Amino acid sequence: MVKVGDTLPDLDVLVESSPGNKVNLAKELKGKGLVIGVPAAFSPSCSETHVPGYIKHKALKDAGDVFVVAVNDPFVTKAWGLTLDPDQKSGVRFLGDPSGKFTEALDLAFDGTAIFGGNRSKRYALVIEDGKVKEAHVEPDNTGLNVSKAEKVLG
């Protein structure tokens, strides 16, 4: 599992808004940032509490570049982002990990077949500094909402 000191995977598998718009977080996050991983776009905890907690948090502006990653296609993550942040004022970017390869490279995938129909991402928040993990907040039960809450990560 990803840990403090690890570098972000150098992969061109994440997508933003469309399949052709690839995002490589190892290249994109050079300074300060946050990667928030969720089991599923539009799921209740992700949509009602987890991600909105970051979007509305007073310290979000100090977090650097912020990305939400879900094992979903880019059309779903784009629609979800517009639902949660319709004016796109927060600066949070929503990325799809359709193949799950980014999530697997972090060793944060779990078998979510019973609920989500296939492998999904554990819920997490990674504080990134200069391309390395400074803090790793990974939910021990995969989908719970405790250690990765905005209040615990951003203060």
Distance of CA 140 to the CA centre of its chain: 16
Give 101's contacts (C-beta < 8 A, 6+ positions apart): 11, 13
- Per-residue confidence in pLDDT tens, the chain, 155 aa: 999 999 999 999 999 999 999 999 999 998 999 999 999 999 999 999 999 999 999 999 999 999 999 999 999 999 999 999 999 999 999 999 999 999 999 999 999 999 999 999 999 999 999 999 999 999 999 999 999 999 999 99
Q: Is the pTM of this model over 0.95?
A: yes
Q: Is 37 a catalytic residue?
A: no
Radius of gyration of the chain (CA): 14
Q: Which of 15, 29, 46, 154 is catalytic?
A: 46
